[in-house]
Amino acid sequence: MKPENNIDTSQVKGNASLEIKLTLLNSLVQLSRRDVLRSTGKPFRGFAAEFVSRMQLAEASTLSKAEEPDKLEGRTVFEVIVDEDMANELEVGTMHGGCLAMLIELCSPTPIYVLRASTGAHGVFGVQQSLNIVFHSPAVPGDKLHIVSTTLALGSRVRSGRCEVWNVTRHRLVASAAYINMVPSESSKL
């Protein structure tokens, strides 16, 4: 992937290589672009692109696993400020669970990429096969969130990990998730 101009990796902590950090930052830029709808021909950004444009990559690392020091794990941390358009209007202005799930889904494949690319394997983001989320406490507009994703196990096609969303403003866990990510098979043309 060709890096975008003006991508700054200086604020990204962690021991991942400059190339890996650039790839992650470039993927955020690509996801936040406007597309043209095929059905209408009109520009459309979409909610995922809108929220991705507000996310910041704070860390990309490959670390020794605490439980198995001879094995490595990938770790990424993204930051985002909860905005009013992320709130659930039916509730008391708390962050919508669907919005939070989308942010988790977008962030969770990234440590898999970091670990595989750091260890010489082919770095592929893959797609979610399963995502199980537990909501612990609400977040409200103005709260700063850290989305911390780590790998658990990597197979040749199926990989698993966990994600925790921490409210930095209120010092509490907002949500935790376990996920299974897979490398899709080649699609056949119809």
Tens digit of each residue's pLDDT (9 = 90 or more) over 93-147: 899 999 999 999 999 989 999 999 998 877 667 788 899 999 999 999 999 999 9
pLDDT at 185: 75
Can you give the pLDDT at residue 71?
A: 93
Q: Which of 177, 86, 79, 57 is nearest to 128 (CA)?
A: 177
Tell me the residue ranges of DSSP E strands in the chain. Answer: 35-36, 43-44, 56-64, 72-81, 127-135, 144-154, 158-167, 172-182
Identify whether the C-beta of residue 27 lies closer than 8 Å to the C-beta of residue 121.
Answer: no
Q: Which residues of the chain fall below pLDDT 70?
A: 1-6, 34-36, 44-45, 90-91, 123-124, 187-190
**Which of 86, 50, 78, 57 shows the shortest CA–CA distance to 165?**
78
Pick one of 3.30.230.10, 3.40.47.10, 3.10.129.10, 3.40.50.620 as the CATH number of 18-182: 3.10.129.10
Give the pLDDT confidence score for residue 38 in this predicted structure: 72
Residue 130, both tokens: 């399963």
Backbone angles phi, psi at 171, to 5 degrees: 55, 55
